[in-house]
Amino acid sequence: MRKYDVERVDVKVVQSDRYLIKRIGDIRDWKVYCVCESNCNNGWMRDKVENLARPIMIPLIDRDRLLRGETTRLLPHQQKIIATWAVLKAMVAEFDTHSWVTTHHSQRKYLMNRLAPPARGWAVWIGPYLRVSWPTHWGSSPFLYLSPKQEARRGGSLVATFYNSHASTQVIGSLFIHVMRSPANDYIENWKFSTPDGGSVFRIWPPSDVSVSWPGTIMSDRDADYVATGLYRDLMDRVSPLIKEGIENAPARSGGAPFWRWRA
């Protein structure tokens, strides 16, 4: 592949932007320079995360295996390894030039020390996916969550200077990965997907003691898009009609900072 698409959705009070960023080169060579080489990239990230994830994930990534109808069972400890890998990559990708850092540094530290996703506010799904024409290889929609208390403290200001929540999607071969995080812990942890074409999307974080029978039903393009944009759609459904109208009908970018208002 010579070129690939990165999709980013920003939700702002003044405007909703869908960016399609064309990158040159192979997405597998996408490098984000934010971690140190010796201690992190060639240290614990490789030895304690990637090397453990590789043998478990390669069979899931392999399209031919999926097409041949091979099945595999993912045990709870293997699900945790995949989830840790997915969360690590999601955290690192936030440092890409086109992205937003939404994860608090204490959560990155937690992952490094415990080699597991943070205990609260994170959810990871995986599914078997055979792409037909859905273009996204990497997609991300950041937003700002404010608790009712925080919102009250802000008064009438609709301007935000940062995001603290994020949904990101990554497709590697036939493996679809979706990661959500937000300080709205329950909102994220109770999230459920019911795909339009019935494709399987297995939640592997927060952990369960149930093993996954892979692949289940292969996800369609429509299923992939439904999951990737699920959070954005739900948030748009929750905003007041006035804000929604403002987001959808706003003219060109006003220069205002990104903002998202969410109510439980």
Q: By CB under 5 A, which span of 33-41, 92-100, 113-121, 200-208 interacts with Zn ion?
A: 33-41
C-alpha 236, offset from chain centre: 18
The one among 18, 19, 25, 36 contacting Zn ion by CB under 5 A: 36
The one among 27, 32, 34, 40 contacting Zn ion by CB under 5 A: 40
Alpha-carbon span 102 to 214, nearest angstrom: 31
Q: Quote the least distance from Cβ 44 to Zn ion, whole Å.
A: 9
The one among 3, 20, 33, 39 contacting Zn ion by CB under 5 A: 39
Q: How many residues touch Zn ion (CB under 5 A)?
A: 3
Q: By CB under 5 A, which span of 37-45, 67-75, 197-205, 246-254 interacts with Zn ion?
A: 37-45
Q: Quote the least distance from Cβ 30 to Zn ion, whole Å.
A: 19
CB 8 within 8 A of CB 69: no
Sign of CA dihedral 150, 151, 155, 159: positive
Q: Is 159 in the site for Zn ion (CB under 5 A)?
A: no
Contacts of residue 49, defined as CB under 8 A and 6 or more positions apart, other chains included, come to 81, 84, 85, 88, 115
Listed in sequence order, the DSSP H helices in 99-206 are 105-114, 148-154, 185-189
| Site residues (vs Zn ion, CB under 5 A) | 36, 39-40
